[in-house]
C-alpha cells in the first residue's frame, strides 16, 4: 500500500506465531513491509512463513526468547545486516498467569514480568539504539485494558501490562527528539487462545464476557461484541504508517467501550 508509506520497511513483530501477533505480522506484510517474525513457537513460525510467502509477502522467521537480552542483540544485529535497517517494532508477545495474590507463585509473577515487561524493554532498547542515528522509526507496544482496570486474579498480568504501557510512553518522550514515535494499543477481550483460557466450559462465557459479571467486578462490553485480532492489527498498521506521523505517546484502547473510556 503505497499510500501508507510502508513499502520495503523492515518490521520486527514479537509473538508472531499466533493470536494478535500473527494477524499483525500478516497485515504489515500485506502493506508491503518486510516482516521479521519473532516467537518461541517454531511450528507456528513456519506456518506463518509458509502462509505469507504463498501470498508473495516478504517474511523471515526467528526463534527468539525475548527474555534473553543476548539472544535479542544477536538476532537484531543479524536482521540489520541481512534485511536492512529496522524501522518498525511491534511488541506483541505476552503471557497470562492468573491467580489471586495469596495463591500466585513467585514463578508466575517473575515469568509474567519477564515476557510482558522486561521483554518489551530489551527489544525496545535494542531497536531504538539503532533507530536513533537514523532519526526515524516507530515502536508500538500491545498493552491491555487490564492495565488501567483492576480485575480479579489479574494482578500479575495487569501490573506487567501497566509497566509496559508506562515504559513505552517514557520511551516515546525520550525518542521524540529523534523523530521516533512510540505508541500503545490496548485490546480488551479479543478472539484469541488467551481469551479462551479465561472461559469455563460450563458457562456461556462469551455472553458473560459481553454482559459483564457483577460478582467478579467485571465490566461488560457496550458495543456488544468481542474484538477480532484484525481490529487490533489495523490500528497497529495505522500507528506505524505515515498517516500517524504526528502521533506519539498515545494509548489507544480497543475494547468496545468496556473500560468506559477511562
Q: Helix, strand, coil: what percent of the chain each, to 5?
A: 50, 15, 35
Determine whether 122 is an active site residue: no
Residue whose C-alpha cell is 508509506:
5
Cβ-contact 239, 173 below 8 angstroms:
no
Cα gap 86→126, rounded to integer Å:
10
Question: Which of the residues 122, 157, 178, 217 is marked catalytic?
Answer: 157
Alpha helices in 83-201 (DSSP H): 106-113, 119-134, 155-175, 193-196
Within 13 Å, how many C-alpha atoms sit on residue 175's CB side? 29
Backbone phi and psi for residue 13, each to the nearest 5 degrees, phi listed first: -125, 120
Active site (catalytic) residues: 157
Amino acid at each position: 500500500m503505497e499510500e501508507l508509506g510502508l513499502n520495503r520497511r523492515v518490521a520486527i513483530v514479537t509473538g508472531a506465531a499466533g493470536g494478535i501477533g500473527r494477524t499483525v505480522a500478516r497485515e504489515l506484510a500485506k502493506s508491503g513491509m518486510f516482516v521479521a517474525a519473532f516467537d518461541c513457537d517454531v511450528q507456528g513460525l513456519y506456518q506463518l512463513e509458509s502462509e505469507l510467502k504463498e501470498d508473495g509477502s516478504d517474511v523471515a522467521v526467528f526463534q527468539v526468547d525475548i527474555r534473553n537480552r543476548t539472544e535479542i542483540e544477536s538476532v537484531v544485529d543479524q536482521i540489520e545486516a541481512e534485511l536492512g535497517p529496522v524501522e518498525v517494532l511491534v511488541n506483541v508477545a505476552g503471557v497470562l498467569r492468573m491467580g489471586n495474590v495469596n495463591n500466585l507463585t513467585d514463578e508466575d509473577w517473575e515469568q509474567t514480568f519477564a515476557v510482558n515487561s522486561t521483554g518489551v524493554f530489551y527489544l525496545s532498547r535494542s531497536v531504538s539504539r539503532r533507530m536513533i542515528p537514523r532519526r526515524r522509526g516507530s515502536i508500538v507496544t500491545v498493552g491491555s485494558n487490564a492495565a488501567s482496570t483492576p480485575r480479579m486474579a489479574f494482578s500479575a498480568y495487569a501490573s506487567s501490562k501497566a509497566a509496559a504501557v508506562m515504559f513505552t510512553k517514557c520511551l516515546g518522550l525520550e525518542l521524540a527528539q529523534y523523530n521516533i514515535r512510540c505508541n500503545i494499543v490496548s485490546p480488551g477481550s479479543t478472539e484469541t487462545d488467551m481469551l479462551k483460557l479465561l472461559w469455563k466450559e460450563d458457562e456461556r462465557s462469551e455472553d458473560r464476557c459481553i454482559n459483564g459479571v457483577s460478582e467478579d467486578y467485571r465490566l461488560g462490553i457496550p458495543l456488544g461484541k468481542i474484538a477480532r485480532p484484525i481490529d487490533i492489527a489495523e490500528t497497529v498498521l495505522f500507528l506505524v504508517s505515515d498517516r500517524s506521523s504526528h502521533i506519539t505517546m498515545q494509548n489507544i484502547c480497543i475494547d468496545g467501550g468496556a473500560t468506559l473510556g477511562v
